[in-house]
């Protein structure tokens, strides 16, 4: 057994940001790498309907992932605060209740998706064979949604404790198992898109087991929550989790709308969008993991009332996002021809992938700013700000921009316009986060000054 510490209260903030982001990204990126590998193996079947189908189905699977991440954020934020304040017993109780909460949400979502898959996919623009393939994927994978939620929840709890190494292991377990089973199920057994779903489902079960072992065997950090514990802690977790969940759902909503906007141009263009949507999380996994990486650093220092280090976490998180995005956009540009060859896209679809790598990828620096701001909002008691920022980007920053872009320049116009909208909301969120930290620090200093002032005679 190890005793949870508060490792982020001292040392270089930028080093903490880099280490937490790298380890968090390695774990998170393995899940996204699996999605990319799924797409690669399925693209070898050279059927654009299957490629488009997994693009539509991916929006629903991404929604489940976003639910799990949102619920994990709620538990991890309270765990990090409690560890930072030295309240280890409360941290264990929050972790246990948060895990149960995540599993229940995923179970409800899986049942709803199974019943309404046809209607939802139809609303997203899926038709014909692409819709059929999407339903096969969703129906096969949905029983494992609970295991994925458990994998994400245990990973977030471990990161909230500061054990970023073991947090990485359970998601990497999922990746390794899927990469082994994918080609076997798809080609040897001939299961096609259902083989991909089955491989993912089995991998999630093993990864969840890995996460449970880390919390129980290595940390003895889980306790069996009673109904009284659940009633007491669920309100605090829900206060952070529900806006975080809604905020996380903004990303699959925006992706689903992009599929809807691209659908009128045909399955080939949807397939190109699917390639982009699967490449982006792998290429920019560091950016996706920033919120989970910076969150515990902010949470522990907020618990210790060290506001100077909270500000440093914001600054260094944004700096990391800019540097990494610049590097990765150049890397993708250099590999643009290899990408279109690897995923067997041709014609207009290939042109669209090249256009993204040439002009759009660099704008992810602004999305990184949004994720850093979300970490501040979730860990400083203002999770609703994260909700507004993410849904503002997913709606006002996406829909009207996509409509105008489509009218002006078709699929390329959609990409350019939505990148502009996303950048605007990313910059606005960072400004809001900086002012939030400043306001909290000012109030804390005023309180300290008032408590230390001599009373009037």
Contact 320, 290 (CB under 8 A): yes
Inter-CA distances, 154 with 173, 227, 281, Å: 13, 21, 21
Average pLDDT over residues 174-190: 92
Name the band, by pLDDT with cuts 50, 70 and 90, for residue 457. very low
Q: For 423-437, what is each residue's pLDDT tens digit?
A: 999 999 999 999 998
Provide the residue count of the chain: 457
CA–CA separation, 284 and 353 (whole Å): 16
CA–CA separation, 136 and 131 (whole Å): 9
Contact 202, 177 (CB under 8 A): yes
Q: For 187-214, what is each residue's pLDDT tens digit?
A: 999 999 999 999 999 999 999 999 999 8
225 compared with 102, residue with greater pLDDT? 102
Structure tokens at 423: 């950048």
Phi, then psi, of 12 in degrees rounded to 5: -70, 125
Average pLDDT over residues 300-327: 86
Structure tokens at 242: 């529900």
pLDDT at 9: 66
User: For residue 64, which of 141, 125, 172, 174 has the smallest C-alpha distance?
Assistant: 141
Angle between helices 227-262 and 267-283 (to 10 degrees): 130
Query: Residue 454 has what DSSP assignment?
Result: P
125 compared with 5, residue with greater pLDDT? 125
Record the pTM. Answer: 0.73
Query: Residue 455 has what DSSP assignment?
Result: P
Name the band, by pLDDT with cuts 50, 70 and 90, for residue 456. very low
Burial of 427 (0-12, 13-18, 19+ CB in 10 A): middle
6 has pLDDT over 70: no
């Amino acid at each position: 057994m190890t005793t949870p510490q508060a490792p982020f209260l001292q040392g270089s903030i930028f080093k903490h940001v880099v280490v937490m982001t790298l380890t968090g990204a390695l774990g998170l990126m393995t899940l996204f790498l699996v999605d990319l590998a799924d797409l690669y193996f399925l693209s070898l079947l050279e059927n654009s309907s299957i490629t488009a189908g997994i693009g539509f189905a991916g929006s629903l699977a991404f929604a489940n992932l976003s639910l799990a991440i949102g619920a994990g954020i709620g538990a991890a934020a309270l765990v990090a605060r409690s560890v930072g304040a030295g309240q280890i017993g409360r941290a264990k109780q929050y972790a246990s209740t948060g895990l149960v909460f995540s599993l229940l949400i995923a179970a409800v979502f899986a049942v709803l998706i199974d019943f309404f898959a046809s209607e939802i996919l139809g609303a997203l623009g899926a038709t014909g064979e692409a819709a059929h393939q999407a339903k096969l994927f969703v129906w096969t994978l949905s029983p494992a949604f609970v295991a994925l939620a458990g994998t994400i929840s245990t990973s977030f709890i471990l990161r909230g404790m500061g054990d970023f190494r073991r947090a990485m292991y359970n998601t990497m377990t999922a990746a390794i198992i899927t990469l082994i089973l994918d080609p076997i199920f798809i080609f040897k057994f001939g299961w096609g898109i259902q083989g991909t779903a089955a491989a993912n489902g089995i991998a999630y079960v093993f990864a969840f087991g890995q996460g449970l072992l880390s919390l129980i065997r290595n940390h003895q950090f889980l306790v069996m929550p009673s109904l009284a514990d659940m009633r007491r802690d669920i309100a605090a977790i829900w206060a952070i989790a529900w806006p975080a969940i809604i905020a996380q759902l903004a990303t699959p909503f925006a992706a689903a709308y992009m599929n809807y906007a691209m659908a009128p141009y045909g399955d080939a263009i949807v397939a190109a969008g699917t390639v982009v949507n699967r490449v982006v999380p792998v290429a920019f996994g560091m950016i996706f993991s920033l919120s989970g990486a910076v969150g515990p650093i902010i949470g522990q220092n907020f618990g210790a009332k060290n506001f100077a280090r909270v500000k440093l976490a914001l600054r260094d998180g944004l700096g990391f996002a800019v540097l990494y995005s610049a590097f990765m956009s150049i890397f993708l540009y250099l590999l643009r021809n290899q990408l279109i060859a690897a995923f067997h896209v041709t014609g207009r679809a290939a042109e669209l992938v090249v256009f993204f790598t040439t002009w759009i990828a660099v704008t992810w620096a602004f999305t990184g700013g949004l994720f850093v701001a979300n970490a501040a909002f979730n860990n400083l008691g203002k999770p609703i700000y994260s909700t507004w920022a993410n849904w503002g980007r997913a709606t006002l920053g996406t829909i009207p921009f996509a409509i105008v872009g489509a009218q002006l320049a078709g699929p390329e116009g959609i990409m350019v316009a939505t990148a502009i909208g996303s950048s605007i909301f990313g910059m606005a969120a960072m400004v809001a986060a900086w002012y939030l930290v400043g306001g909290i620090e000012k109030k804390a200093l005023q309180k300290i000054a008032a408590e230390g002032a001599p009373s009037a005679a």
